[in-house]
């Protein structure tokens, strides 16, 4: 890692099948929308903890926390759609079942990060996948058949703008 400030978060990344199902949901929403800023397929994920701006020393500490965290593989299930109202267009998301293994992992991660000096998030954890921002549509959330995958790894991610696009990369 170099010496610049990195914008970091910890995530569950998806396999290609799950990404494909999420992209199909995005495409259905896109077809019903006047406009929207849709998450790139390679950026679809579940955030476990947003860390924020970090220097290389903090990034190393966060990576050590993640590498030391042990958990049994568990299932995540994407179960519904929803949105948060925003002035410039709504944020649409795919809801993730907040099952015990997921919530336990998120809590242990947050506690471990706080133990090495990271500020814990104030808001309650609500697992979801951001599908699109600034969406203008007359669509309402529709029912979906739940789908998901088995989680056996989490990733420390950096967020940066490359050629005008948000790019998330595991580090």
Known catalytic residue: 45?
yes
From the list 26, 38, 45, 90, the catalytic residue is 45
From the list 36, 128, 137, 156, the catalytic residue is 128
DSSP H or E run through 64: helix 56-68
Residue 131 burial by Cβ neighbours in a 10 Å radius (0-12, 13-18, 19+): buried
Q: Three-state DSSP class for 60? A: helix
Residue 76 CA to residue 148 CA, distance in Å, equals 5
Q: In what order do the strands lie in the sheet with 6-13?
A: 45-54, 6-13, 155-162, 165-170
Q: Three-state DSSP class for 56? A: helix
Report residue 159: phi and psi, to 5°: -115, 130
Known catalytic residue: 128?
yes
Catalytic residues: 45, 128
């Amino acid at each position: 890692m170099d010496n610049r400030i990195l914008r970091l978060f910890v995530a569950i990344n998806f396999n290609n099948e799950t990404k494909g199902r999420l992209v199909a949901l995005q495409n259905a929403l896109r077809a019903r929308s006047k406009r929207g800023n849709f998450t790139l397929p390679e950026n679809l994920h579940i955030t476990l903890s947003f860390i924020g701006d970090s220097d290389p020393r903090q990034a190393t500490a966060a990576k050590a926390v993640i590498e030391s965290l042990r958990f049994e593989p568990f299932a995540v299930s994407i179960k519904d759609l929803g949105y948060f109202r925003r002035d410039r267009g709504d944020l649409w998301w795919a809801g993730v079942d907040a099952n015990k293994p997921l919530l336990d992992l998120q809590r242990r991660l947050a506690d471990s990060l706080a133990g090495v000096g990271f500020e814990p998030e104030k808001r309650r954890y609500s697992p979801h996948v951001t599908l699109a921002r600034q969406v203008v549509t007359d669509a309402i959330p529709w029912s979906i058949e739940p789908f998901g995958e088995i989680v056996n790894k989490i990733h420390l991610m950096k967020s940066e703008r490359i050629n005008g696009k948000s790019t998330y990369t595991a580090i």
